[in-house]
Amino acid sequence: MTRFTQIQFLRNVLAPSMMIAALAAGCVADEAAAPAAPALETAARSDVNEARNKDLVHRYHVDVWEEGNLDHAWQYLGQGFTSHATVTTLPPGQQVGPDFLAQFWTGFPDLYSHQEALIGDGDLVTIRWAITGTHTGTFFGVAPTGRPIQISGMDVLRVADDKIVEHWGGVADQMDDFLAQIGATSR
């Protein structure tokens, strides 16, 4: 075989054969790495859990906050539920007690909470909400003023075993706004 024929042979026969072999080797390597299906199953399970967690928080918000069924709250909360929310402002002589949530419907009988966004990430669900109402009842010792309120905020909730078990944020963080809008404090 002459040098020219050898070069043509390499270019026309061996080079394409080597490329095919390399591609085939790559395919084999990809197939060997294919047992990533369990990772896909785990991701799918995670998506299902996130969707279930978001649905739980949505149902809780509608039932308890939109419809005002405060007595239903414990259906959604798990054993040992913990809230990390801290009320920093209350009128003089007032305390946070077991009637904390009920105070909102007493003070604002037309209270309405609208869910604006719901975001899930693993066992955490964040809900952004907006509350409107009219101060026509006593709210933490503040006599009715007839003033409208409009408050927005967010809650972060941790879900375990299909129950809400931990909470951060919420209306407790917005007490300054509630009280300022009804004239009980200045901002």
pLDDT in tens, 5-22: 444 544 554 445 444 444
Q: Both tokens of residue 7?
A: 């070069």
CA distance 113 to 63: 11
Sign of CA dihedral 106, 107, 109, 111: negative
User: Beta 77-83 vs 163-169: how paired, if at all?
Assistant: parallel
Residue 29: is its pLDDT beyond 70?
no
What is the average pLDDT across 125-139?
96
How far, in Å, CA of 50 to CA of 118, rounded? Answer: 11
Query: Which CATH code for domain 49-181?
Result: 3.10.450.50
Q: Are 94 and 140 in contact (CB under 8 A)?
A: yes
Q: Give the side-chain half-sphere CA count within 13 A for 122.
A: 1
**Rounded distance, CA 112 to CA 145, Å?**
18
For residue 42, what pLDDT is reported?
55
Tens of pLDDT along 35-83?
555 655 555 566 678 999 999 999 999 999 999 898 999 999 999 999 8
Band (pLDDT 50/70/90 cuts) for residue 25 is very low
Amino acid 1: pLDDT: 57
